[in-house]
Structure 1
Amino acid sequence: MDSRFYDEGALRQAALNLFHGWGYNFYRTENQLRADDQLVRSKAGWLLGIARASVEQAEAGYRREFIGAPTREKPFPNPSNMAAAQKLERLAGNIGTISGRLQSQPVPENDRMTQRYRQEADTLQVLISCDERLVGQCSLLHAMLDGRNGLWMLEHLDEVEDGLAALQQTLRSREAALFNRSG
């Protein structure tokens, strides 16, 4: 029996060397914060996906109710109804754009240069703060749009777009914190 496979000290040292080489050191606050940040952003993205689906359903309902299929007597839809349906379509697209931007945002790299030039835990704390605001905003948007029809969304379009602008600002603040710029 080869004792090297049972020497806990040597095995632990080999594992730690590999973990450090891979850029990972478990039980560090930074690793937990990084994982939390990714989880929070994933849940915020999920809420945005539900909000987008609500708008898409409302748009489909609006098109069925106000545009309908063309007939011989009326081959073209009312231009104002078409413009309203397109506004709903753009709204869904804007929500999707914000969701994509959210999901593509990085977290600080866990490398020696990052650790040397800035405190990663402090940066991650700021990011978590941004992400908490982001999740609140996503939840509010979801609650605002859930179960609403196209007419309601069109009547409250300014309010919904203000919410999207706030989400964009939160994402800019998050990027600024990540790259040490003023937001």
Structure 2
Amino acid sequence: MVQRLLVGETLSLDLVNTEWVEHGAPVDFLADADAADVWFRDYGFDPESERLDALLASRRAIRECLDEPGDAADAALNDVLSHGHERVLMVEGRPEKAIETDPGWYAAWSAAFAYTTLLATQPDRVRQCAHPDCVLYFFDTSRNGGRRWHSMETCGARTKSARHYRRQVSVEKATDPR
């Protein structure tokens, strides 16, 4: 099974980040049925009662909202959201939220709903990694909101290393007597 690059983000971003590019080739963590079951379990969903096609539809819709926001992206996300709803009930004198979804859509709907919640609270903190070859998204939790890479150890280091290399080559060309 393929090892995921970035985990620990919000549910919606962790779902989107099940696709990435590695050595120039696209990788889809959910393409393996066993990996999909792991993803469902990791987030508290029962793989036996969830539909992978629904989860993939949610991932496509969220990614479309991130990559190409607009009417088509809104429609795709709304389609996923139409498979469930959240309501408030009074239970023993206290309000409690109840989620109802179509069979097999609980994980997909939850990820889409989590994305809308993220947008409603701090949309400016949802970022794509600044490395030009990276497709991962993250929620910027830095104090000043200036985080640029999903990981300083991978993309951040690669970007800084490439910048240093370009400077060195430029200096060598400038000082070459030929």
Q: Under a length normalisation based on structure 2, what TM-score does the superposition of the two structures give?
A: 0.24
More helix by share: 1
Higher relative contact order (CA 8 A, sep 6+): 1
Task: Indicate the structure (1 or 2) with the bigger Cα radius of gyration.
Answer: 1
